[in-house]
Amino acid sequence: MNQSNTHLNKMIKISLLGAIAVVLMFMEVPMLPAFPWLKMDLSELPVLMGAFAFGPVAGITIEALKIVLHLLLKGTQTGFVGEIANFIVGVSLVVPAAYIYHSNKSKKTAIIGMIVGGITMGIVAIIANVYFLLPAFGMVLNAEDTLKYVTAGLLPFNGIKAVLVSVVTFAVYKKVSVAIFKVDSGFDRKKELSKEM
């Protein structure tokens, strides 16, 4: 397969992942009764898999494509604030995870990357919500209410989401990477090295 066909094949897969991500984005469910606007979906799953397969830039592209498709299909009910926040928070999970994983592809770097990505996502979500999202919606909280929102809402919500996306990705990525993406996951690197020795 020549270089142009390889690039085209990669772009087709990135586009398909973006389409899958937007379908998953529509399958959102409220998680916490006290904070009904925090809705859980697994749209970051194909984004993370794509970033693992093709790199952090591909992950950003899939995330952006997901948001654009969602806007085209559904429009915005939040004046683009929710969509921007979704993009920022999604990228904060995917980019660190993919960057660390691609530094030396293995199960270990995949796990470390997803842990770092999950922590980064949690921090970014707090900053984005407290200083950007809530003010944009005209929700001004005092210090006590802000602390409650962070500890009882944002932290558990984003923690659960990061764990779900990471666990599913880790469970299926090896098979998907070979069967669909045609890339080496690096998950069997130790076995290969032991055979060589």
Question: pLDDT tens-digit profile of 28-61?
Answer: 898 888 888 788 999 999 999 999 999 999 999 9
pLDDT in tens, 92-132: 999 999 999 999 989 999 999 999 999 999 999 999 888 88
> Quick check: is 146 in a domain?
yes
Which segment of 90-99, 133-142, 188-197 scores lowest on mean pLDDT?
Answer: 188-197
pLDDT at site 196: 35
> Quick check: is 66 in a domain?
yes
Contact in structure between 157 and 31 (CB atoms under 8 Å): yes
> Quick check: is 177 in a domain?
yes
> Quick check: is 33 in a domain?
yes
- Is the pLDDT at 146 greater than 70, yes or no? yes
Domains held by the chain: number: 1
pLDDT at site 139: 77
- Is the pLDDT at 2 greater than 70, yes or no? no
pLDDT at site 197: 24
How far is 111 from 96, CA to CA, in rounded Å?
11
Query: Which tokens hold the place of 48?
Result: 């993370």
pLDDT at site 195: 40
pLDDT at site 69: 95
- Is the pLDDT at 157 greater than 60, yes or no? yes
> Quick check: is 193 in a domain?
no
Question: What's the mean pLDDT in 148-155?
Answer: 90
Neighbours of 78 (CB within 10 A): 14
pTM of the model: 0.86
> Quick check: is 196 in a domain?
no
pLDDT at site 45: 95
pLDDT at site 87: 94
CATH code for position 33? 1.10.1760.20
pLDDT at site 14: 93
pLDDT at site 178: 76
> Quick check: is 8 in a domain?
yes
Q: Hunting for tokens 């944002």 — which residue is that?
A: 154
> Quick check: is 195 in a domain?
no
Q: Which domain holds residue 156?
A: 3-188
